[in-house]
Copies of this chain bind each other. A is one copy, B any other.
Amino acid sequence: MALRHAVLAALLDGETNGYELAKTFDVGVANFWYTQPQQLYAELTRLEKDGLISGREIVQDNRPNKRVFRVTDAGLAELDDFAAASAKPSFVRDDLLVKVQAADHVDPAVLIAQLDERATFAQAKIDLFEQLLRSMRGERTEEEFLHEGDRIGPYLTCLRGLAFERGNRDWCRNTITILRHRQAATAQR
Contact = CB atoms under 8 A, between A and B. Distances in A.
B98 A32 contact: yes
Name, among A101, A107, A168, the residue most crowded by chain B CB atoms within 10 Å (CB to CB): A101
A146 B156 CA distance: 35
* Copies of chain A in the complex: 2
Contacts of A30: 91
Contacts of A189: none
Interface string A89-103: 111111111111111
Contact of A88 (B84, B95, B171): B95
Contact of A114 (B33, B86, B163): B86
18 contacts: A2-B95, A12-B101, A12-B105, A29-B101, A30-B91, A32-B92, A33-B98, A80-B107, A83-B99, A83-B102, A83-B107, A91-B94, A100-B153, A102-B153, A146-B178, A147-B181, A159-B171, A163-B167
Interface of A: 2, 5-6, 8-10, 12, 29-34, 76, 79-80, 82-84, 86-107, 110-111, 114, 117-118, 121, 146-147, 150-154, 156-157, 159-160, 163-164, 167-168, 170-171, 174-175, 178, 181-182, 185
